[in-house]
Structure 1
Amino acid sequence: MHSGIAGIDHIIVAVRDLERARDAWVRLGFIPTPRGRHLGHPTANYCIMFGQDYIELLGSAAADDPGPRLGPFLAKRQGPMQLAFAPNGSAVEARAALLASGLNPAEIRPLGRELAGPEGPVVPRFSLIDLPPEETPGLNCFVCSHLTPELMRRPEWLDHPNGVIGIKGVHILVAETAPLLPAYDQLFGIQHVTTTDAVAAIQAGPHRLLFSTPDDFMTMHPGIDLDPAFPLPGIVAIDLAIASGSRTAAFLQGAEIPFRELAEGTLVVPASEACGTLLFLSPG
């Protein structure tokens, strides 16, 4: 894409108790990676890997120190906290493209994470580019370039019993959609931003970002419970691709996980089952 962003790399779900969160997502039918620990930061994680993207369950490595980024968010709620975009090329190339588009990305910063591997600890490494909040309104975003991608994906981490195969997009609740449009026109190109009376839809490579007000979200999805105190703006739901609707429904029924089936066949798992994250599951 013209700004150097290829789509969603991963979604960070902030949780108050990392081990309980892992157990909850295992019950949902996901196979997480071993626990990782961010070098130089008070955070740890489990990742749920797919072929091209993933979900990161992020928690405090020490119960008494959630850190300056995680603590304020968890004081309000659990759930999706940040979106990491994948670069189209290297981090250097992505930053140059962002600058050429008239945007103001931060300098590239390194990140390492110690991960327990089958042959012993390994350290996946990344290059990150923070994006100014005014240039991604409604979202807390950065660009994440993988320097050691071979350490992040092993076959046994990709075959999830629930049949989920990847991320399709996210749903973001905002007070108004119209003020968002100029920033996303500039970031992704006006041809990738569409609006209706109810939503603003941004196409980020193969992924879709859907912005709406809480009222419009409930109108589009009648019968889905939404916390009336949900803090705006925020990511309320993750849209996941599944290989087979019948397979996923059978797994959820067997695990005694409550879900709704919408008219078009999408399965919806309530946020109470996934650490504050609504999950939309549909073939893709």
Structure 2
Amino acid sequence: MVVSVDAIRPVLDHVVVNVMGKLGEAAEQYTKLGFQLTERGHHTLGSSNNLAIFRDNYLELLGYLPGRETKRADLWTHPAGLTGLVFKSPDANLVYAALTERGVPVLEPISFARPVQLPGGAQDARFKVIRVSGEQVQNGRTFFCHHDTPELVYRPEWQLHRNGVTDVVEFVIASRDPARTASLYERMFGAPLLKPVSGGVSFTAGAATVLVLKPEAVAERYVGAALADPTGSDRMVALTFKVTSLDQPRAVFDAAKIAYRPFERGIVVDHAQAANVALGFTA
């Protein structure tokens, strides 16, 4: 079957922060940072999460409960921090066929669910994911997520945050060879995709821009707030969020005594205060 790569587009669905067995600690950190988190959810595959839902995408704090670390053990081999770049899927089978046609190593779609507690009772949020094979991505995962029940995720009452965040607008990967790292995404979505930027390359993914930058370019862009991997491996290290006004995150951080510093696009919080992820905020 011939499926055109034009059938799939790079649109950010969500980002995954791997917090392993520290879900409670990470949820407390992100709540102090002004995010409204959903109630703790539990996947049928064995992992657990809290979400911060935005207008067009969301952030997932992913981990496990005590005694469940052997469930989804493949996830916990990645270092704690930003480990998931997830794109929207228009159709799981179509995405699988398109990636296969492009020669991208990809696993067959899998289905799972997560009960969601609502005022009228619990309902199951259902998903299908299409995962690029693990060896293609260092220290993390890239996959597509198809929402069978988007109304159980993108709920208006969950999209309001004290820090004023409306969307993830930047996702940053540190790589000593940005062209090599980013070539996977051009294979996934077709050329021309990548644009040269200072210190690396970028591509547009819906409301967000994905940047693959040399470590020194990351350090300069995020004024030293991002994690530096001592091994020299690729590492997903930073996010930037759109806010309605920088006054909102400043007020939240000042009240919580969270240090922040200016950077080119607004203000940034150090990775040590956000589960190993540098968080930028821009108006």
TM range (shorter): 0.7 to 0.9
- 1:244 paired residue number: 245
> Structure 1 residues 224-233 or 171-180, which shifts more?
224-233
Matches within 5 A, 1:260-279: 260-262=261-263, 264-279=264-279
CA contact (8 A) 1:110 1:128 kept: yes
Alignment partners' CA distance in 2, 1:98 and 1:7: 15
Aligned to 1:24: 29
Distance change (3 Å), C-alpha of 1:109 and 1:221: closer
Paired position in structure 1 for 2:206: 205
Distance of 1:225 and 1:43 partners within structure 2: 26
Look up the equivalent residue of 2:176 and give its one-letter code. Answer: A
Alignment-derived partner of residue 84 in structure 1: 86
Q: Give the secondary-structure state (helix, strand or coil) at the position aligned to 2:11.
A: strand
- 1:125-274 alignment runs, 5 A limit: 125-133=126-134, 140-196=141-197, 198-224=199-225, 226-227=227-228, 229=230, 232-262=233-263, 264-274=264-274
TM-score by length of 1: 0.88
Moved more, 16-25 or 157-166: 16-25
Match of 2:15 in 1: 11
Offset of residue 277 of structure 1: 0.9
CA contact (8 A) 1:188 1:204 kept: no
* Aligned-partner Cα distance in 2 for 1:217–1:98: 29
CA separation of 1:265/1:205 partners in 2, compared to 1, >3 Å: closer, same or farther? Answer: closer
- State how far apart, in whole Å, the 1-side matches of 2:76 and 2:186 are: 32
In the TM superposition, what are the counterparts of 1:2-81 in structure 2 within 5 Å?
A: 2=6, 4-15=8-19, 16-39=21-44, 41-63=45-67, 65-67=69-71, 68-73=73-78, 77-81=79-83
Distance 2:10 2:164 in 1: 25
Partner-residue secondary structure (3-state), 1:191: coil
Query: Is this contact kept in 2: 1:14–1:78, CA < 8 A?
Result: yes
Q: Distance in 1 between matches of 2:116 and 2:232?
A: 33
Residue 236 of structure 1 deviates from its aligned partner by: 0.3
CA gap 1:197/1:160 in 2 versus in 1, 3 angstroms: closer
Tell me: CA distance 1:21–1:125, structure 2 relative to 1, closer, same or farther (3 Å).
same
| Maintained 8 Å contact 1:266/1:282 | yes
Distance 1:226 1:92, change over 3 A: closer
Q: Distance in 2 between matches of 1:105 and 1:225?
A: 30
**Could you list the per-position Cα deviations for residues 187-233 of structure 1 after superposition, in whole angstroms to 9, with x for gaps in the alignment?**
23333201246111122233211112212222334453644537621
Q: Which amino acid aligns with 2:23?
A: L
Relative distance call for 1:191 and 1:26 in structure 2 (3 A) is: same
What is the letter of the counterpart of residue 276 of structure 1?
N
CA shift, 1:163, in A, is 0.2
SS in 2 for 1:252: helix
Q: Output the amino acid matched with 2:110.
A: R
Tell me which residue corresponds to 2:117.
116
Total equivalences in the alignment: 277
Could you say which residue in structure 1 is the equivalent of 2:280? 280
Amino acid at match of 2:133: P
For the residues of structure 1 that align with 2:133 and 2:105, how far apart are their CA atoms?
7
The Cα of 1:251 is off from its aligned counterpart by 2.3
Identity of aligned residues (%): 27
- Counterpart residue number, 1:94: 95
Change (3 A) 1:230 1:156: farther
Q: Give the TM-score normalised by the residue count of structure 2.
A: 0.88
Counterpart code for 2:268: V
- CA RMSD in angstroms comes to 2.3
- The answer to whether the Cα contact below 8 Å between 2:227 and 2:278 also exists between their aligned partners in 1 is no
Deviation at 1:24, TM superposition (A): 1.1
Q: In structure 2, what is the Cα distance between the partners aligned to 1:104 and 1:253?
A: 46
Describe the superposition over 1:126-155 as per-residue Cα deviations: whole angstroms up to 9, x where unpaired.
Answer: 011111346667752111000011111322
1:173 is matched by which residue type in structure 2?
Answer: A
SS at match of 1:31: coil
Tell me, what secondary structure is at the counterpart of 1:192? Answer: coil
